[in-house]
Amino acid sequence: MRQQIAAANWKMNLTLQQGEELIDKVLNAGLTLKEQQSVLFAVPFPYLPMTRQKLGGKPGYFACAQNCYDKKSGAYTGEVSAEMLKSIGIAYAVLGHSERREYFKETNEMLASKIDLCLENGIRPVFCCGESLHVRESGNQNRFVEIQLRESLFHLTPEDLKKIIIAYEPIWAIGTGKTATTAQAQDMHAYLRLVLQDHYGKELADSMPILYGGSVKVSNAHELFSSPDVDGGLIGGASLVAEDFIEIIRSLK
Ligand code: PEP
């Protein structure tokens, strides 16, 4: 079975102490992860060492960065490189979140560089893609998301593509309380798998985790994650409430 993932995206929320408390609650919830299940905590950069330390190598639990820069090193004040993340033992990074694409003008091309730098440093990217409401209303969502994949991922060798986790996040569903229907999520995930299959073959396409993100909550997680091509979720708001995130983890296949 494909890897099934519940990834918490804290964004720019929580103090260190609140973050510590939240992770403690999740770790003490008595969850038993199945072999294929993983839980990621995408936390602000300063909290990565704390997160790693708390998770203490517990199988299936990983600290995850929310970003990294698209250059190797140098005079880029305030930025964090993939190599720096590697040097503190980080194995996952969210890349291309729609907030970064929108507010920080990240392009598909920049994301291709970030992907390469992460892979060079042994970090698995959680690559975010997804369309705006305008694109969805014009019916061009499949083509739009396909281009995001092609321009940021399709230069990769099959060996490298295997390390990518895709997160489909329709922008109109992020932080809005408006979730894609299970059918909308499943349709896009199945389409993306076909696009991957066309370029890389069925076996590889079938092996890749594709997460859904956009107002995942306790009330809809189980149904969304039950869809054949939905392999878990990238969760913003609901991951800030330990009890909710715990229930969402319990909803994984
Ligand atoms: C996200 O941060 O990627 C996200 C999907 O947020 P929310 O769950 O709050 O919509």
40-95 confidence digits (pLDDT tens) = 999 999 999 999 999 998 999 999 999 999 999 999 999 999 999 999 999 999 99
Could you tell me which residue, 108 or 174, shows the higher pLDDT? 108
> What are the DSSP E strand ranges found in 19-162?
37-42, 61-65, 92-95, 124-129
**pLDDT for res 179:** 83
Asked if 47 and 9 count as a contact pair (C-beta separation under 8 A), the reply is no
Residues with Cβ within 6 A of ligand 1?
Answer: 9, 11, 97, 169, 174-175, 213-216, 234-238
What percent of the chain shows pLDDT beyond 70? 100
Strand 37-42 and strand 92-95: the pairing is unpaired
Asked if 59 and 37 count as a contact pair (C-beta separation under 8 A), the reply is no
Give, for ligand 1, the residue of 174, 176, 230, 248 to mutate: max count of ligand atoms closer than 8 Å to Cβ.
174
Q: Which CATH number fits domain 4-250: 1.10.10.10, 3.20.20.70, 3.30.43.10, 3.30.300.30?
A: 3.20.20.70
Find the mean pLDDT for residues 211-230: 97
Residue 125 pairs with which residues in a beta bridge? Answer: 93
Give, for ligand 1, the residue of 127, 215, 219, 245 to mutate: max count of ligand atoms closer than 8 Å to Cβ.
215
16-27 vs 242-250: helix axis angle to the nearest 10? Answer: 40
- Please provide the average confidence, as pLDDT, over all residues in the chain: 97
Q: CB 32: neighbour CB atoms within 10 A?
A: 6
**pLDDT for res 17:** 98
Q: Which atom of ligand 1 is nearest to the CA of 173?
A: 10
Nearest CA to ligand 1 atom 8: 236
Report pTM: 0.96
Residues ≥6 apart with Cβ < 8 Å to 249: 6, 26, 31, 33, 37, 39
Read off φ and ψ for residue 95, nearest 5 degrees: -130, 140
